[in-house]
Amino acid sequence: MIRTNIDIQHLNSFGLPCLAAGFCQVGSLQALTSICEDAGFKHSQRLILGGGSNVVLAGDFPGLVVQPDWHGIQIIDQDSQSVTVSAGASEVWHKLVIWSVEQGYYGLENLAAIPGWCGAAPMQNIGAYGAEFSDVCTSVSYIDLDTLSQHSLTSDQCQFDYRTSIFKKPTAQNWLVTGITLRLQRQGNLNLDYPGVAEMLQRQNIQQPAPADVAAVITAIRQQKLPDPEVLGNAGSFFKNPIVSTNTVDAIRALHPDMPHWATGNKIKLSAAWLIEQCGWKGHRKGPVGVHRDHALVLVHYGNGSGRQLLELADCIKQDVFEQFGIDLQPEPKIIQN
């Protein structure tokens, strides 16, 4: 079941070259048990790789790459107000969104067209257009590869926060997510506050939008803003929007009064794209990697490059933003390097 010396360049949306010492797909606890006891890889480093839409492979991987193979979308509970839906970790996230809005359910429409698989959604608490995975999550199931034991965490136990969760902590590096459960509403209020969403609905003369209408509009907006990874390697937004104190914002706005910012609790969220653009990086190319010409937050791989070259570019951007604004940008993708 384990293949050796496998090229996994096609398994990451950046299209970065990477040779895995071992690679396998698993869809059951029995299969995992067999693989984890394999003499050749029993004590090797492991990498759990789903759709590969949120990773940077910065070189060959000397251990075992495990790709989950848990599928299925089904309603497991319902009442007059809501439905509880389960989805296997290997289901494409956008497929789940489209399925939900086709049923007329509310909750996932603003998360349309986010690349990747369902198993990755809780990792960084994916979010877009005013919604987050944590808004609808009820539980996440996983297998601990160290003990080969099965577990389920409630939404509260997942410790969701802005682009993070318990699954990003070092103690969870060998947790393989097998499925998620979500509670969706039969009726609800649509979130149309994000710039461009309501305007596009109006242009289409949609006066009373349904969840499917919102999902379609957001999909169109994302396609206009973000490059298709099938055409140009990327992982969407590369840096998190920094969350800072009001004092930091006041200091920056003294020199840049037009700086976009949003309140989030007692902190302020800044636009990483704006910070990067002010430093002149938008559209900049550095050999086989660069910053997208239309979106400063998207780093791209033009081909024949490496993960290390991409990380060198990211480091240069981080340094410039820190020197000019005193802000330490943090990457969204998981960095895999040895």
265: nearest Cα among 246, 250, 247, 248:
246
Let me know if 315 is exposed, middle or buried by CB neighbors in 10 A (0-12, 13-18, 19+).
exposed
Is residue 285 among the annotated active site residues? no
Give the Cα separation of 305 and 34 in Å (integer). 36
Catalytic residue among 91, 109, 132, 332: 332
Is residue 163 among the annotated active site residues? yes
For 63, the token pair is 């251990």
Catalytic residue among 163, 165, 183, 306: 163
Give the Cα separation of 264 and 247 in Å (integer). 14
Catalytic residue among 86, 155, 237, 306: 237
Please tell me the total number of residues recorded for the chain in this structure: 338
Helix (H, G, I), strand (E, B) or coil at 180: strand
For 139, the token pair is 């539980």
DSSP H or E stretch at residue 216:
helix 211-225
159: nearest Cα among 196, 109, 124:
124
Residues 286 and 313: beta-carbon distance below 8 Å: yes
DSSP H or E stretch at residue 201:
helix 197-203
Is residue 237 among the annotated active site residues? yes
Show which residues are catalytic: 163, 237, 332
